[in-house]
Amino acid sequence: GESVGLHLPTLSVQEGDNSIINCAYSNSASDYFIWYKQESGKGPQFIIDIRSNMDKRQGQRVTVLLNKTVKHLSLQIAATQPGDSAVYFCAETSGGATNKLIFGTGTLLAVQP
């Protein structure tokens, strides 16, 4: 779950298309997962979370899917907009949001007009 280098994976999508950002988490004991959006020059912004007793959770234009068997998390963004351009991080923890988070490496989403 620690950062692994200076080059972020990049996902480039056309405006209006759906985006899928993937994350492999590291700890099979993790039971709470959060997706954050970080725009340039800002702190991470909460998007959506999911607990391990769920496989899917939907928000406004976003859906998070959790596959515990393969320790995989995905964030789906419907009808991607230019304002969605940012770096997206998944984070994992055990015992709930009051515990320390372990972050994935992040994915840069670039939305082409």
Partner 1 sequence: SAVISQKPSRDICQRGTSLTIQCQVDSQVTMMFWYRQQPGQSLTLIATANQGSEATYESGFVIDKFPISRPNLTFSTLTVSNMSPEDSSIYLCSVAGGYTDTQYFGPGTRLTVL
Shortest CA distance to 21 belongs to which of 93, 101, 78? Answer: 78
Q: How far is the CB of 59 from partner 1 (least distance, A)?
A: 12
Binding site for partner 1 (CB under 8 A): 2-3, 5-8, 34, 36, 41-46, 49, 89, 91, 97-106
State which residue, 75 or 91, has the beta carbon closest to partner 1.
91
Q: Mention every residue, 6+ apart, whose C-beta is less than 8 A from residue 21.
A: 11, 35, 74, 75, 76, 77, 88, 107, 109
Q: How far is the CB of 43 from partner 1 (least distance, A)?
A: 4
Q: Considering just the CA atoms, what is the radius of gyration of the chain in Å?
A: 13
Q: How far is the CB of 80 from partner 1 (least distance, A)?
A: 22
Residue type, 25: Y
